[in-house]
């Protein structure tokens, strides 16, 4: 855990990569893997939510909360992750070859909320033990 808090550049770099992938008109990963900007690689099948978006925000939220793990930082990083998930998906309205989808938005939010809830309970349990 201390590795992430000492190396904040990992969180900042992962944010830049996420933002680039979200805001690029087309699929960078599809272009790299399939030589087709219109084809999005699918990690697992979607079920109500977009699993790709869920996994992305699960990872970015985990890195963020490991990086900023002090109790007063928890509130700020929580708001940031929720704001980021909303903003990036709403931005798809304005980007060519991208579209706003509620399943993507719910995947973003669910990925962030699951990690936030888990970290909240771990922090609460940690405070009780001390």
pLDDT, mean of each 10-residue run, the chain (130 residues): 74 94 86 84 85 94 88 88 95 88 94 94 74
Identify the pLDDT of residue 40: 82
pTM for the complete prediction? 0.86
Domain that holds residue 47: 2-129
End-to-end Cα, the chain, rounded Å: 18
Q: How far apart are CA 93 and CA 99, in angstroms?
A: 6
Identify the pLDDT of residue 5: 63
| Domains identified in the chain, total number | 1
Identify the pLDDT of residue 41: 82
Q: CB–CB of 112/57 below 8 Å?
A: yes
Identify the pLDDT of residue 130: 60
């Amino acid at each position: 855990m201390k590795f992430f808090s000492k190396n904040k550049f990992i969180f900042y770099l992962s944010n830049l990569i996420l933002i680039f992938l979200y805001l690029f008109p087309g699929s960078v990963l599809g272009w790299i893997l399939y030589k087709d900007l219109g084809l999005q690689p699918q990690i697992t099948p979607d079920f109500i939510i977009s699993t790709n978006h869920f996994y992305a925000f699960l990872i970015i939220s985990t890195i963020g909360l490991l990086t900023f793990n002090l109790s007063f930082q928890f509130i700020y990083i929580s708001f940031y992750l929720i704001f980021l998930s909303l903003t990036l998906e709403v931005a798809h309205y304005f980007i060519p070859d991208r579209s706003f989808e509620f399943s993507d938005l719910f995947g973003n939010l669910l990925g962030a909320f699951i990690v936030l809830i888990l970290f909240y309970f771990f922090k609460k349990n940690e405070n009780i033990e001390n």
